[in-house]
Structure 1
Amino acid sequence: MPLLARTVNTPLAIEVRRGAVADLGPLLADRRISAGGDVAVVVGPGQGEKIVELCRPSLGSADVFTVTGGSLDSANELGDRLRRRNYDAVVGIGGGRTIDTAKYAATRYGMPMVTVATSLANDGIASPVASLTHEGGKGSYGVHIPIAVMVDLDFVENGPDRQTQAGIGDAVSNLSACADWELAHRVRDEPIDGLAVTLARTGAEALINHPGKICDDGFLTTLAEALILGGISMSICGSSRPASGGDHEISHAVDQLFPGTSSHGEQAGLGALFCTFLRGDLERFGQLARCLHRHGLATTPAELGLTDEQFVEAVQYAPGTRPDRYTILEHLAMPASETRGRLADYAGALRDHLG
């Protein structure tokens, strides 16, 4: 008998709204994740006390762990502390660093993980990947997808705009990543997962066409859903392919060559815009350029804090950051002189579309 369907791992619950942190206990009980709130709550040093104060009434049996997140050492240390007691689940509340630390520690000891995001800086809120720093730099580690995902718009709205802008760049870059995957499928016959592409692209399309601003609940909800769909798309296909192409290669290159330049998401957004231009898709290029510009993200190397020559150097270095990945950068294999010429053409096209 032919296989007519497949099983897909997704969170049991996804909620994007205001007041999510305060309603954490009822959600855990309703979804049979933890009837009595016997969970490990992991928070960061920033808003940790305020978060604990909000969720404590509904999580009386919880233990609270404050972490300085983002490093492999802190994730391992948290895991060692978690193993001293049996918990129904680990609840990571905060931004990307705190959530990635909790995801890694929970996976290490086979505990269910619940994400409660208070910022929307990247797609890590629902992805099967934890990005953690270590002595040699920064690494990506495979982890279990969260069993539930909540986004509290009260915290997102009150957080720095730059975090939300970074999330926009990360989400819309999925359009370029999927185009790179399709290119690899045509040129090298690389297997492609249509469901993963559909989810990643659908969320990004909704975001790029949304007329709202980063202070609007409707826009923030669309952004959260786009990031969540991007994370689930990676879980479906078992790799970061639908959310990481030449755009992310350029971002990784900037991080390695010129550390501290900007956020990952903003770098990925600019990388996606340049890669879209290289593919010759001027209609998509115009859409993406207007979206990034409208929300205050960089559309030129100078706006990101790089000279043109530094950006050219990053583009040349980019394929080496992911040797196994085939994108428009590997396809064109441009020497530095050609990259400079294409960057000049890119600047002209940008002026035509943005005025």
Structure 2
Amino acid sequence: MPVLTRLVPSPLVVDIRAGALDDLQSVLADQRISASGRIAVAVSAGSGAALRERLAPQMPGADWYAVPDGTLDSAVRLAEEMRSGHYDALVGLGGGKIIDAAKYAGARVGLPVVAVATNLAHDGLCSPVSTLDNDAGRGSYGVPSPIGLIVDLDVIRQAPARFVNAGIGDIISNISACADWELSKRVTGEQVDGLAVAMARSAGELMLRHPGTIADDNMLVALAESLVLSGISMNIAGSTRPSSGACHEINHALDILYPTRNAQHGEQCGLGAAFATHLRGDLELSGQMAEVLARHRLPVTAAQIGFSDEEFVAAVHYAPQTRPGRFTILEHLDLDPSAIRDAYTDYVKHVSSCT
């Protein structure tokens, strides 16, 4: 008899609620995660370090490692420091950069990772990808996704609102990424994984249509759950395809061309998604995206994120080079800078009437 189902890599534990950190010790005591109780904890210098005093009594035998930033060098250094520890698991405690560093280090030494998120800035907290700064700018590295995910809403409420809102932009961009994938199927014959699309797009649609704000607990839960679904969709697809299309190509181009700017990943992806949707000719959806992004204080134009029109046009033109072999609306239209400038001018006029 043929196999009628497939196994989907996913976390053993997902705990999203107020006070979830109070039960971290019981999660780590799960025999599937730690048989001996030997735990390493990677902690950031900011939000993660502030929680160390609270959590250390729960884990008296844990070894704590300070990770200064989200660079490849820091992730490699963390892996080297842990090699002699004979640990069962690694806890990544902090924002997205520290969790990405922990995922990469865990992969290098063969340790499962439990992600304890202190903000909800992007879907990296549950994805099979680590995005780390390196000498060439920023790179994406394939890694196992976390074996467990803890999101304490009491902690998330203390994060800067900008970081949490950025996660909304990242998830809404799934809608554009899935549209790009389906465009590629029609034009190039690329195979599309329908289950991955269903999960990624459902997460994006939930954020697009949710009436609340991050001041509401049910919105925070919906955002955290959407980030989990987005991460699992990438596991299903075996790539970032269901959550990364022209939106992320534009984001990567902005990072490469203007590395000293301080825009958030989700802010750039949300803007990229609204513009890419406009390029696909879906003006109603592009306007709806812009309205929702603006409601959550996310940028809908280049100026609102600190870029000139000329800089944004240059980034869009450069964007296809960031993901060679990936087919999106940018590769399909293959616009020159003049045409991109005209399209962006039309986009700004359109979204200005929607926000």
Query: Match of 1:79?
Result: 79
**For 1:310 and 1:333, how far apart are their aligned partners in 2?**
18
Query: Match of 1:333?
Result: 334
Query: Match of 1:123?
Result: 123
**For 2:260 and 2:208, how far apart are their aligned partners in 1?**
27
Query: Match of 2:165?
Result: 165
Secondary structure in structure 1 of the residue aligned to 2:21: coil
**For 2:184 and 2:131, how far apart are their aligned partners in 1?**
25
Secondary structure in structure 2 of the residue aligned to 1:215: coil
Shift of 1:352: 2.8
**For 2:317 and 2:96, how far apart are their aligned partners in 1?**
29
Matches within 5 A, 1:1-355: 1-30=1-30, 32-34=32-34, 37-261=37-261, 262-354=263-355
**For 1:201 and 1:279, how far apart are their aligned partners in 2?**
17
> Deviation string for 1:46-89 (max 9, x for gaps)?
13443122222321221111111311111111111111121111
Structure 1 segments of 4+ aligned residues over 6 angstroms from their partners: none
**For 2:36 and 2:19, how far apart are their aligned partners in 1?**
20
Deviates more, 1:92-101 or 1:336-345: 336-345
Deviates more, 1:80-89 or 1:182-191: 80-89
**For 1:237 and 1:78, how far apart are their aligned partners in 2?**
29
AA partner of residue 272 (structure 2): G
- CA-atom RMSD in angstroms: 1.4
User: Are the equivalent residues in 2 in contact too, given 1:21–1:54 (CA < 8 A)?
Assistant: no
Secondary structure in structure 2 of the residue aligned to 1:84: helix
Shift of 1:263: 1.3
**For 1:30 and 1:89, how far apart are their aligned partners in 2?**
11
Secondary structure in structure 2 of the residue aligned to 1:220: helix
Shift of 1:267: 0.7
AA partner of residue 315 (structure 2): A
Secondary structure in structure 1 of the residue aligned to 2:27: helix
Q: How many residues align?
A: 354
User: Are the equivalent residues in 1 in contact too, given 2:137–2:259 (CA < 8 A)?
Assistant: no
User: Are the equivalent residues in 1 in contact too, given 2:48–2:118 (CA < 8 A)?
Assistant: no
**For 1:30 and 1:87, how far apart are their aligned partners in 2?**
14
**For 1:70 and 1:149, how far apart are their aligned partners in 2?**
19
AA partner of residue 340 (structure 2): T
> Deviation string for 1:263-291 (max 9, x for gaps)?
11101110000000111112321221111
AA partner of residue 125 (structure 2): I
Deviates more, 1:342-351 or 1:287-296: 342-351
- Return closer, same or farther for 1:31/1:119 CA change in 2, 3 Å cut-off: farther
Secondary structure in structure 2 of the residue aligned to 1:91: strand
Shift of 1:145: 1.0
Deviates more, 1:88-97 or 1:26-35: 26-35
Secondary structure in structure 2 of the residue aligned to 1:83: helix
**For 2:205 and 2:48, how far apart are their aligned partners in 1?**
34
**For 1:36 and 1:163, how far apart are their aligned partners in 2?**
36
User: Are the equivalent residues in 2 in contact too, given 1:15–1:151 (CA < 8 A)?
Assistant: yes
AA partner of residue 245 (structure 1): G
Structure 2 unaligned segments of length 5 or more: list them. Answer: none
User: Are the equivalent residues in 2 in contact too, given 1:22–1:54 (CA < 8 A)?
Assistant: no
**For 1:205 and 1:35, how far apart are their aligned partners in 2?**
40
**For 1:38 and 1:51, how far apart are their aligned partners in 2?**
20
- Return closer, same or farther for 1:50/1:344 CA change in 2, 3 Å cut-off: closer
**For 1:259 and 1:101, how far apart are their aligned partners in 2?**
19
Shift of 1:340: 1.5
AA partner of residue 303 (structure 1): Q
Deviates more, 1:172-181 or 1:79-88: 79-88
User: Are the equivalent residues in 2 in contact too, given 1:11–1:149 (CA < 8 A)?
Assistant: yes
**For 1:85 and 1:323, how far apart are their aligned partners in 2?**
39
**For 1:163 and 1:37, how far apart are their aligned partners in 2?**
33
User: Are the equivalent residues in 2 in contact too, given 1:40–1:62 (CA < 8 A)?
Assistant: yes
- Return closer, same or farther for 1:109/1:307 CA change in 2, 3 Å cut-off: same
AA partner of residue 304 (structure 2): E
Secondary structure in structure 2 of the residue aligned to 1:41: strand
AA partner of residue 200 (structure 1): A
